[in-house]
Amino acid sequence: MESESTILTGLNNKQLEAVTLPHQSALILAGAGSGKTRVLTTRIAWLIQTGQVSPNGLLAVTFTNKAAKEMLTRLTSMLPINTRGMWVGTFHGLCNRLLRAHHREAGLPSTFQILDTADQLSAIKRLMKAMNVDDEKFPPKQVQGYINSCKEEGLRAHSVDAYDSHSQKLRDIFEEYDKQCQRDGVADFAELLLRCYELLERDAHIRQHYQSRFKYILVDEFQDTNRLQYLWLKLLAGQENCMFAVGDDDQSIYGFRGARVGNMRDFETDFKIQYIVKLEENYRSHSNILDAANAIISNNKNRLGKNLWTSAGKGEPVRIYEAYNDNDEAQFIVDEIKMLHAEGAELGEIALLYRSNAQSRILEHALFSANLPYRVYGGLRFFERAEIKHALAYMRLIANANDDTALLRVINFPARGIGARGLEQLQEDARNQSCSLWQAAINKVGNGKLGGKGLEGFVALIREMIDQAYGISLAEIAELATSSSGLIAHYQNDKEGEDRIENLKELVTAAVAFTNQDFGNHNNVDGDSAQDLLTQFLSHASLEAGDHQADVGREALQLMTVHAAKGLEFKAVFISGLEEGLCPHEQSMYENNGLEEERRLMYVAVTRARQRLYLSYAQSRMLHGQVRYGIPSRFLDEIPDELLKRLNSKPAPKAYANYTVGNTRSSNASQKNAMPWKIGQQVAHAKFGNGVVVSYEGNADDLRVQINFGREGLKWLALEYAKLNPI
């Protein structure tokens, strides 16, 4: 018993209760920073140590191989056991292991291979070509997403409803894909789980074998399970075994991947959970930060319910900064980081979080200009992202069509039927003629503007883009490169293309910002100046994509999306872009329970901070090449004032402070003088709440003002009757 007490040393009362629960299924509601990994691992060690189960008699499921390895490492430090044969791993890893042992019963060859995401996409493309399926009507990545979504719902092709010719064709491709995989003896990731589930469901002997073997089943990050994963766990547990599910419904942020937060409620009912153990003591953050997080998440409905607390003291107030525009916001963040660093904070202990990847560009530019090393966690810097490099390649061809590197990048992207053999032939022609690939292409297709796919279509496209680019602004050239090239249309057909499209639109914003910075807001420059500006912008993009990102091991700031930040913690956290439409994201308004998941994202972001938390938003922001006047995120309103310290922005520059006419039908001086509100000014209305002035129209006797009221939308109000008050 002495060794048992050693295992349990240091656990708080609730952790101890969870670890030492008797033989029963249990739901452990583990808040952020409450020590859930320790509880899960100690539960396993305690069950083994007390003789309730052998190391091979339990099954522990995680979502990443890293988490599984960490669990096994902790176990070996607690007990003198050999973990080599233990069933601890990811859903895919454990299903693969089970299918290897029963490949014959599962209908698989003993040497079946696993298709990763790229291999699966190649297999789908090969199949669609053999079936003569139009890849424009049925983009392969969209087909891949459809197949995987069906499998994650536990459905085969024959079980999927087809409502029209389009859905019927998708179902046909799915059916033929399954047959092709069976012939080839391969299985994709989704197939591993579905095939394993089907095997256990139909083969009572195998099912009963594993049900009798795994007396205890323990699951980490239970809130991230999808429908099929839950059904698999339920089948494996049977009627007698104990499921120990650890999760946090308030941190369920992967609905777009199929995660189903409702599984926690279903588990409570299906396994007749009598008592939920809540781990609410937080060992990470000060109470001001936790109180802010609690206040935000309390606005979600149907929560299992918990309230984080700490004995670490109140700590510093949560700082809120209202910037006059996005550049001011970025500069504020840079200045605060410099101050924190000067006070002794390591750069690696500071994180900059944002809702979507596209928001990183302006932050990266500010850090680059300030010579502050940074690292984009779990992703690429803005100018290194594939879709941006594609768009820049088109812009490089507009600037210089003889740029072979740029041409090779996009000659068949988006796909236009130029195969490897055709490209080899073009390169051979260029070598023989001692010319660029572009010149070789022109020589090959002639001087006529030919349409269609293939090389002729590519030459016609680049020629047209070069013609259209003469005399237009840099931002318009960027739009050509993102839209006329077909890039945006290509990513619209991609299941996960939304972020890429946002990044492409942000490239237009970058072009506007670069123009304003270097040419004093003179967009309509002559042809030669436009060409110079394009060349300079491309050089700027290359420099910012260069070697400024910190090398591995070097101290650096951490930039990341909120999704990427889950599971991490930092001494100081900046959450930027907290405006309606950005956070919560405007897309969430159109999705079922989308706003609640956005609030959970905010909760995750806030709970990443240990000591200092900065929240910032901007009165105006350049988005998609246009100035947008926003209002503060509703999540800021949900934080009690007593937890906050509001930081005043510096006085706005004259160019911003001066009143400028927006969308007006007339702009004479009398109207301008009659307008008491500045565009971008925040106002309050008795019925619609807080809003931002975005435009006005009419004459001095009949003036109307347009206001963005956020969740209430845009409203035109007669100024005489509007009864607006300044905020």
Catalytic residues: 36-37, 220-221, 251, 608
Alpha-carbon distance of 606 to 622, in angstroms, equals 25
Element (H, E) at 690: strand 689-699
How many other CB atoms are found less than 10 A from the CB of residue 726?
10
Q: Which amino acid is at 78?
A: M
Q: How many helices (H) and strands (E) does the chain have?
A: 30, 22
CA–CA separation, 584 and 635 (whole Å) = 8
Residue among 624, 379, 627, 621 nearest 482 (CA)? 624
Place of tokens 């008699």: 57
Which whole-number Å values give the CA distances from 598 to 296, 559, 635, in the listed order?
Answer: 11, 19, 10
Return the bridge partners of 394, or none.
none
Which conformational region is residue 472 in: left (phi greater than 0), alpha (psi within -120 to 50 degrees), or beta? beta
d(CA 32, CA 606): 10
- In the Cβ-directed half-sphere of 577, how many Cα atoms lie within 13 Å? 26
Cα–Cα distance, 97 to 196 (Å, whole number): 10
Pairwise CA distance, residues 249 & 634, whole Å: 21
With beta carbons less than 8 A apart as the criterion, state whether 616 and 578 touch: yes
Instruction: Quote the tokens at residue 41.
Output: 């691992």
> How far is CA 454 from each of CA 36, 406, 445, 460, rounded to the nearest angstrom?
56, 17, 10, 10
Backbone φ, ψ for residue 559 (5° rounding): -110, 135
CB 410 within 8 A of CB 390: yes
> In 145-171, which positions are buried (b, 16+ CB within 10 angstroms) versus exposed (e)?
ebbbebbbbbbebeebeeeeeeeebbb
Distance CA 124, CA 120 (A): 6
3-state SS record for 415-460: CCCCCHHHHHHHHHHHHHHCCCHHHHHHHHHCCCCCCCCHHHHHHH
Distance, in Å, from the CA atom of 75 to the CA atom of 94, rounded to the nearest integer, reads 19
DSSP code of 520?
Answer: T
d(CA 510, CA 537): 9
* CA dist., res. 213 & res. 208, Å (int): 8
Q: What dihedral do alpha carbons 296, 302, 304, 310 form, nearest 10°?
A: 10
Structure letter (DSSP) for residue 582: B
Token couple for 509: 């914003």
- Cβ-in-10-Å burial (0-12, 13-18, 19+) of 273 comes to middle
Instruction: Tell me the C-alpha distance between 23 and 243, whole Å.
Output: 10
String of DSSP letters for 130-179: HTT--TTTS-HHHHHHHHHHHHHTT--GGGS---SHHHHHHHHHHHHHHH
